[in-house]
């Protein structure tokens, strides 16, 4: 399965969840979540959104949208 196939499958899942009224947390200023953690770990190893797009020759990867969905699925309040 290519990366484009994976992206398309994830987008189908997101569209289905949206059609059922499930939305990601849009006011997450004082929370962090799974998407933030995944992004942080990947960046530590030099895997950025720009690099990912370049590797797979994508103009858009929807990484930010997937990050928001992961944050919505599992998030917690940031410690002060």
pLDDT tens, residue by residue, 26-49: 555 666 888 998 999 999 999 999
pTM of the model: 0.58
CA proximity to 40, closest of 32, 31, 30 = 32
Least confident stretch, 8-12, 39-43, 51-55, 75-79: 75-79
Q: Which residues contact 53 (CB under 8 A, 6 or more apart)?
A: 59, 60, 61
In this structure, what are the phi and psi dihedrals at residue 56, rounded to the nearest 5 degrees? -105, 10
């Amino acid at each position: 399965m290519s990366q484009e196939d994976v992206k398309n499958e994830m987008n189908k899942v997101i569209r289905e969840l949206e059609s059922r009224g499930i939305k990601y947390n849009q006011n997450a200023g004082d929370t962090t979540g799974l998407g933030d953690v995944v992004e942080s770990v990947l960046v530590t190893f030099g895997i950025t959104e720009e690099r990912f797009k370049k590797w797979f020759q994508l103009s858009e990867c929807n990484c930010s949208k997937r990050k928001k969905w992961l944050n919505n699925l599992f998030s917690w309040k940031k410690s002060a």
